[in-house]
C-alpha cells in the first residue's frame, strides 16, 4: 500500500532536483530499512542493526547542509515584529507626520529655482560643446592635442560651474542634490566621450580586429542624436554603437513605474515619520550631545530605518529607474548591479553594487593608470580617492558645508578593503564586516552632517 512506498519511489523521475536532494538527505538520517514481515519474524533482532553512522551536526560548517530557509523565515518574522513595534511606538509618540506634498512644495516656492535651472542648461551646453569639438577635429579644424585640452577645459567647467552656482545661491537641498548628482553623471559621461574619441581620432583609418563589424564607424557617430542618446542611456561608458532591443515591453515599463512611484512615496513617508524625529530630537538636549553612550544609542536607533530606506532607494534607482530608461531607449545591457549582498570583502562590494560606475572607473581610470606604469594598488587607491571626492561633493554642495567626513569615511575603507580582501574574503565573517560597515557607517555620517548643518544654519 501507500504506507509501504519509499520516498524515492514516489518522487522518481518527477521531483525537482532541490526536493530530491532534501529527500535523499532525510533518508540518510533514517535507520536501515527493515520490511514489516521481517520485523514480525525478527523477535527483536532489529535491535542488533546499527542506528548510528559518522555524521556532523547540521549547524557545523563541514556538514554540507545549506537549507536554512526555516530560520530565515523566523528571522524575517522577528524583524517584521520588531519594526512593527517601533512603528506603533513612533506613531503613538509623534502622531502621523507623513506629508509627501511638503517635500515637493519648495520646488515651486524656492526663490533660487533659476540658478538650478541654469545648472541644467549648462549641462546641455557642455554636451553640445563636446560634440562641436569632435566635429571640428574630424574635419581637421582642430589639432589632436588642442582638441584634447579643450575637452579637459569643458569637463572642468562642467563640474565646477554648477557646484559654484549651487554653493553661492544655496537652493532647496533636495533640488541641489539632484542637480549635483546629474552634474557628476554628465561629467563622467563627458570624460568617457572625450576619452573614447581621443582613441578614435588617433586610430582613424585603421582596422581594429576587435571592432564590431556592425558598429557605427567614426566620424559617422558624431551627431546630436547619438550624443543625447548616450546622455540619457543608463550607462557612463561611451560606445559608437550600443546593444539594442527590438521592441519596448510596455507591461514591464508600467510595472517598474508603479514600483518606482510606490517606493518614492514610501521613502518620503519613512523619512518624515521615522528619520527626521530621531535626528532632530538627538540634538535638542545640549547636555546629552557630549555623552558618547547617548550618541551611540541614537545612532543605533537611526540605523534600522536608515538602512531600510537605503535598500528601498537602491531598488528604486538601480532596478526601477534604470530599467525604465533602458527599456524606453531599448538599451539591452541591464546589468546595473550584481550580488553585492553576498560580498565578503569591501572591494567585492564596490565592484558589484554599482556596475555603471565600476565599469567607468575601470575603463577610464584604473586601466589607463596601470598602462602608464602605476601599480595595481596605486591605481585602486586613486579610484578610491576619486570616489571619496565625489561622495564629499554630493553631500557637501547641497548642504553648503564641507567637513570631509564622507571623504575620510571612503578613504578609511582602503585599509578595511585590504584587510577583508586578504583575510576574510570568501568567509561568512567577511560578509558580516561588509554589512556592519554599511549598517553603522551611514547613520553615523547622517548624524554628523545634520549636526553640522544645524550649527551652520544657526538652529543649534
Catalytic residue numbers read 391
Residue 218 neighbours by CB distance under 10 Å: 18
| Cell representation of residue 75 | 528571522
- The candidate with the shortest Cα–Cα distance to 348, out of 435, 224, 250, is 435
What is the distance between the alpha carbons of residues 299 and 306, in angstroms, rounded to a whole number? 10
- The candidate with the shortest Cα–Cα distance to 403, out of 438, 451, 337, is 451
How deeply is 380 buried, as exposed, middle or buried, from its count of CB atoms within 10 A (0-12, 13-18, 19+)? Answer: buried
Q: Give whole-number Cα distances, 34 to 42, 194, 243, 394, in Å.
A: 10, 77, 62, 71
Residue 145 neighbours by CB distance under 10 Å: 8
H/E element holding 337?
Answer: none
Is the Cβ–Cβ distance between 332 and 245 less than 8 Å?
Answer: yes
H/E element holding 296?
Answer: helix 292-314
CA 203 from centre of chain: 36
Q: Angle at CA 310, nearest 5°, toward 417 and 254? A: 125
What angle do helix axes 144-169 and 173-202 make, rounded to 10 degrees? Answer: 180
| Cell representation of residue 257 | 513605474
Residue 275 neighbours by CB distance under 10 Å: 19
| Cell representation of residue 218 | 567614426
Amino acid at each position: 500500500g501507500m504506507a509501504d512506498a519509499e520516498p524515492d519511489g514516489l518522487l522518481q523521475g518527477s521531483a525537482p532536483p532541490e526536493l530530491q536532494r532534501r529527500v535523499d538527505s532525510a533518508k540518510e538520517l533514517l535507520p536501515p530499512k527493515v520490511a514489516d514481515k521481517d520485523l514480525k519474524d525478527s523477535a527483536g533482532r532489529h535491535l542488533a542493526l546499527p542506528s548510528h553512522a559518522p555524521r556532523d551536526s547540521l549547524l557545523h560548517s563541514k556538514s554540507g547542509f545549506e537549507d536554512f530557509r526555516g530560520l530565515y523565515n523566523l528571522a524575517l518574522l522577528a524583524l517584521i515584529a520588531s519594526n512593527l513595534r517601533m512603528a506603533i511606538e513612533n506613531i503613538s509618540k509623534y502622531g502621523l507626520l507623513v506629508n509627501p506634498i511638503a517635500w515637493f512644495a519648495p520646488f515651486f516656492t524656492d526663490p533660487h529655482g533659476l540658478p538650478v535651472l541654469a545648472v541644467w542648461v549648462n549641462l546641455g551646453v557642455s554636451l553640445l560643446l563636446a560634440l562641436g569639438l569632435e566635429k571640428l577635429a574630424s574635419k581637421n579644424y582642430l589639432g589632436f592635442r588642442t582638441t584634447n585640452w579643450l575637452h579637459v577645459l569643458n569637463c572642468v567647467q562642467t563640474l565646477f560651474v554648477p557646484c559654484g552656482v549651487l554653493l553661492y545661491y544655496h537652493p532647496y537641498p533636495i533640488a541641489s542634490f539632484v542637480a549635483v548628482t546629474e552634474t557628476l553623471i554628465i561629467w563622467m559621461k563627458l570624460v568617457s566621450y572625450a576619452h573614447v574619441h581621443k582613441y578614435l581620432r588617433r586610430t582613424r583609418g585603421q582596422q581594429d580586429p576587435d571592432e564590431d563589424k556592425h558598429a557605427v564607424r567614426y566620424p559617422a557617430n558624431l551627431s546630436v542624436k547619438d550624443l543625447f542618446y548616450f546622455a540619457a542611456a543608463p550607462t557612463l561608458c561611451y560606445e559608437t554603437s550600443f546593444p539594442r532591443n527590438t521592441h519596448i515591453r510596455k507591461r514591464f515599463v508600467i510595472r517598474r513605474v508603479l514600483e518606482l512611484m510606490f517606493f518614492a512615496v514610501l521613502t518620503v513617508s519613512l523619512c518624515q515619520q521615522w528619520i527626521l524625529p530621531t535626528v532632530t530630537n538627538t540634538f535638542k538636549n545640549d547636555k546629552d550631545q557630549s555623552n558618547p553612550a547617548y550618541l551611540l544609542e541614537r545612532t543605533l536607533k537611526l540605523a534600522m530605518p536608515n538602512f531600510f530606506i537605503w535598500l528601498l532607494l537602491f531598488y528604486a534607482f538601480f532596478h526601477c529607474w534604470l530599467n525604465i530608461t533602458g527599456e524606453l531607449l531599448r538599451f539591452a545591457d541591464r546589468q546595473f548591479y550584481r550580488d553585492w549582498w553576498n560580498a565578503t570583502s569591501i572591494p567585492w562590494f564596490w565592484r558589484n553594487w554599482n556596475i555603471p560606475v565600476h565599469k567607468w572607473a575601470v575603463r577610464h581610470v584604473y586601466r589607463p593608470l596601470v598602462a602608464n606604469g602605476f601599480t595595481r594598488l596605486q591605481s585602486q587607491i586613486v579610484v578610491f580617492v576619486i570616489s571619496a571626492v565625489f561622495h564629499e561633493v554630493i553631500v557637501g554642495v547641497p548642504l553648503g558645508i564641507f567637513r570631509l567626513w564622507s571623504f575620510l569615511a571612503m578613504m578609511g575603507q582602503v585599509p578595511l578593503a585590504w584587510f577583508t580582501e586578504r583575510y576574510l574574503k570568501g568567509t561568512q565573517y567577511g560578509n558580516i564586516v561588509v554589512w556592519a560597515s554599511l549598517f553603522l557607517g551611514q547613520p553615523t555620517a547622517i548624524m554628523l552632517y545634520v549636526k553640522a548643518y544645524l550649527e551652520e544654519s544657526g538652529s543649534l
